Amino acid sequence: MLQELFISGFRNLDVQTLQLDANFVVLLGSNASGKTSFLESIYTLLNGKSFRTSKTKNIISNIGSYEEFVLRGVICGVGRAGNGRRVIALKKSISDRYVAKIDGEHAASIAEIAWVLPTQIVEPRSFNLLEGGASSRRRLFDWLVFHVEHSFGDVWKRYTGVLKQRAALLKQSRPDEQLIAVWDQQLAELGERIHCLRAPIIERVIETFWLRASRLFGEEVLERLQVSYSRGWSNSESLFDSLIASRGKDIKRRTTHYGAHRADLKFSYDGLPVQEGLSRGQQKLLVLALHLAQIEVLYGATDKACMLLLDDLASELDEANLEVLLGQLQGLETCVIATGLDHSLYERLISKLDLSHKTRMFHVEHGKITPLIH
């Protein structure tokens, strides 16, 4: 878990050191008080990037004369024995690259930081998992594959490099088909390897998703819900054959229609997009069930616990659904940090579920975070 967090120069947050040290952390406060910025600081520290922006200037505080932000976290319970301790630090100015350290030593890459404590976030834009294109869903399941299969990151990097070379050829006024064929061979080989890494993990995610969903939805919803994985090309032929068959179309439209970059995890309800059949609350539960499934599969495959950040947790959910969800979170090997507005709601739920001994609550106001006694 994230035991301690130091923040400086980040958004509207005060310079402060926070002792979190709990399985369930709740931050309460009015809108625009800094709750989401706090979650963003944790996500940025543990992933080396923000989930809200790619521009550093938007992250560095405009209160005072800050030229950089600094984040530092103490993480306990790492490693298979669960008794390890790591200190992660991240610094970034507008003009410089990230400076990342683990236990005082420079990290070889940002990806090295992401390995320490896998982190997921569910926030209002997470509905894009259902409403948006395949890329957001692909990023989600590839996050899990990255943490389970150590070779995935390198294979994916090589695949995208070949894909860019092929794309550059397709955009030429007169593409050289012989040269395209050379790239097709490499793209097919790497794409098939990516599928072999993804497929067994995604199969486990889908199985676990159904178990999690069965505890959040009634039978009527489950019977009408469909989930399927598409690898990005036909199941009846190899990727190489698909690339050959589509080469003319690819040249005409200047894009690669088949490959691992087209993989998708598709959700439907009675054969229609889920947003047409499920309420916003049900859609949120579906997104949460998918995240919970990923966390469970991750722990089962690696013994790695996960950090789950939940922004505006209670929105779209009634108290009964929220109680069921929090009950589900209790049984996971994960540390949960959630934000909310209604103090009394969380007090009731924490008491009802007997979570007081596992919970720390904080009040957020004008960027200052203070502990609450409950």
**pLDDT tens series, the chain, 374 aa:** 899 999 999 999 999 999 998 889 999 999 999 999 999 999 999 999 999 998 888 899 887 778 899 999 999 876 555 568 899 999 998 888 889 999 999 998 888 999 899 999 999 899 889 988 999 999 999 999 999 999 999 999 999 999 999 999 999 999 999 999 999 999 999 999 999 999 999 999 999 999 999 999 989 999 999 999 999 999 999 999 999 999 999 999 999 999 999 999 999 999 999 999 999 999 999 999 999 999 999 999 998 889 999 999 999 999 999 999 998 888 787 899 999 999 899 889 888 888 888 899 999 999 999 998 75
140 and 208, same structural domain? yes
Residues 136 and 179 placed together within one structural domain of the fold: yes
For the record, the structure tokens of 197 come out as 């890494």
| Whether residue 287 sits in one domain with residue 149 | yes
Answer with the one of 287, 303, 319 that is the final residue of a domain.
303
Residue 44 lies in a domain: yes
Residue 355 falls inside a structural domain: yes
pLDDT on residue 334: 87
Residue 233 domain flag? yes
Host domain of residue 180: 127-303
Report the CATH number that the domain containing residue 253 is assigned in CATH.
1.20.1050.90
Query: 299 and 309, same structural domain?
Result: no
The CATH number given to whatever domain includes residue 337 is 3.40.50.300
Q: Are residues 65 and 137 in the same domain?
A: no
**Same domain as 154, residue 34:** no
Whether residue 293 sits in one domain with residue 148? yes
Residue 52 forms part of a structural domain: yes
**122 in any annotated domain:** no
How far, CA to CA in Å, does 207 sit from each of 66, 210, 294? 48, 5, 11
Domain endpoint, select from 278, 303, 328: 303
* 279: nearest Cα among 308, 318, 228: 318
Q: Is there a domain that residue 72 lies in? A: yes
C-alpha span between 287 and 174 (Å, rounded): 45
The number of residues in the chain equals 374
Counting other chains too, the contacts that 133-141 makes at CB distance below 8 Å and 24 or more residues apart are 134/262, 134/263, 134/264, 137/264, 137/265, 138/261, 138/263, 138/264, 138/265, 140/265, 140/290, 140/291, 140/294, 141/198, 141/201, 141/202, 141/205, 141/265, 141/294
Q: Would you tell me how many other CB atoms lie within 10 Å of the CB of residue 327?
A: 14
* Claim to verify: residue 165 and residue 277 sit in the same structural domain: yes
Asked whether residue 284 falls in the same domain as residue 135, the answer is yes
Look at residue 374 in the predicted model and tell me its pLDDT: 59
Tell me what pLDDT residue 229 has: 97
Q: Identify residue 228 by its one-letter amino acid code.
A: S
158 and 297 in a single domain? The answer is yes
Please, which residues have CB within 8 angstroms of residue 202's CB and are 6 or more apart in sequence? 141, 145, 229, 265
Q: Specify the pLDDT at position 356.
A: 83
For the chain, give the secondary structure using H, E and C.
CEEEEEEECECCCCCEEEECCCCEEEEECCCCCCHHHHHHHHHHHHHCCCCCCCCHHHHECCCCCCCEEEEEEEEEEECCCCCEEEEEEEEEECCCCCEEEECCEECCCHHHHHHHCCEEEECHHHHHHHHCCHHHHHHHHHHHHHHHCCCHHHHHHHHHHHHHHHHHHHCCCCCCHHHHHHHHHHHHHHHHHHHHHHHHHHHHHHHHHHHHHHCCCCHHHHHHEEEEEECCCCCCCCHHHHHHHCHHHHHHHCCCCCCHHHCEEEEEECCEEHHHHCCHHHHHHHHHHHHHHHHHHHHHHHCCCEEEEECCCCCCCCHHHHHHHHHHHHCCCEEEEEEECCHHHHHHHHHHCCCHHHEEEEEEECCEEEEECC
Decide if 93 is inside a domain: yes
Q: Helix 280-302 vs helix 177-214: angle between axes, to the nearest 10 degrees?
A: 100
Stated pTM of the model:
0.93
337 domain-assigned: yes
Q: Looking at the structure, tell me whether residues 159 and 192 fall in a common domain.
A: yes
**How are beta strands 306-310 and 334-340 bridged, if at all?**
parallel
Q: How many domains, in total, are found in the chain? A: 2
Q: Where does a domain end: 303, 333, 348? A: 303
Q: Are residues 288 and 369 in the same domain?
A: no
